[in-house]
Amino acid sequence: MKYRLLYPVCLLFLLCAALLALSTGKYPMGPATLVRLCLSAVGCKSPGYDLAAPALVLWSVRLPRILMAALVGAGLSVSGAVFQGLFKTPLVSPGILGVTSGANFGAALGLLFFAGSAWRIQVSAFAWGLIAVGLTCQIGKRGDRSVTTLILAGVIVSALFMAGLSYIKCKADPLGQLPAIVFWTMGSFRLDRYRSRRRHAHP
């Protein structure tokens, strides 16, 4: 019974956070403006109000990012549950098993060699994430196959790929590639601004 009550409460918190993200920022929009924009989207326009700029901010910038952030959060929670169910322990996670560091390493390689091609960067990050978890499993199988061995193997693989990421940062272009790598590993939906900065830095 308590879990049935927990789901609606979490959904309510998610909706409140989404509304807060929609209304705050460099271009603040109050609840009345949001209501007018929603009514305008279904054909009920409010005369006397210029909604061109708020509509651009809402439909082209904030709402897509909020939806993408919700999908990414759902994907992370599902991946954590899958890892915990697959390895039969609540201690494992993509970060512990080296997936996160492997994906960061792959994305850095993609940004270093395939800058401007988003799908190649994503494929590289995904592939190296799989390689990292594969290495963790192979190292973990050589011991006593316990959860402790698996976690220690994940720590080793994570340290290896973090060292590789640091080396790539040292070799990256400090005006274009390095900011993009740092920004990607921090996590954001605005990688495009670093692509444009790189184009301006190297005409």
Mean pLDDT calculated for residue range 114-131: 89
**For residue range 29-63, what is the model confidence (pLDDT) as tens digits?**
888 888 888 887 777 776 666 778 888 888 888 88
Token digits for 103?
């994906």
Give the contacts of 202 (CB within 8 A, at least 6 positions apart). 175, 176
Q: What is the mean pLDDT of the chain?
A: 82
**For residue range 143-166, what is the model confidence (pLDDT) as tens digits?**
666 777 888 888 999 999 999 999
pLDDT at 82: 84
Could you give the CA distance from residue 101 to residue 94 in angstroms, rounded to a whole number?
9
Give the contacts of 59 (CB within 8 A, at least 6 positions apart). 37, 41
- Does position 141 have pLDDT exceeding 70, yes or no? yes
Spell out the alpha helix ranges (H) of the chain: 2-23, 31-41, 52-57, 63-87, 99-113, 118-141, 147-171, 177-186, 192-201
pTM exceeds 0.85:
no
Task: Name the DSSP class of 26.
Answer: S
Higher pLDDT, 89 or 136: 136
What 3-state DSSP class applies to 62? helix
**For residue range 188-201, what is the model confidence (pLDDT) as tens digits?**
776 454 443 444 43
The answer to whether the CB of 168 falls within 8 A of the CB of 109 is yes
Could you give the CA distance from residue 33 to residue 28 in angstroms, rounded to a whole number?
10
Give the contacts of 150 (CB within 8 A, at least 6 positions apart). 87, 92, 97, 136, 137, 140
CA dihedral for 75, 118, 188, 51, sign (positive or negative): negative
pLDDT at 195: 44
pLDDT at 197: 43
Question: Into which CATH architecture does domain 77-203 fall?
Answer: Orthogonal Bundle (1.10)
Could you give the CA distance from residue 189 to residue 132 in angstroms, rounded to a whole number?
24
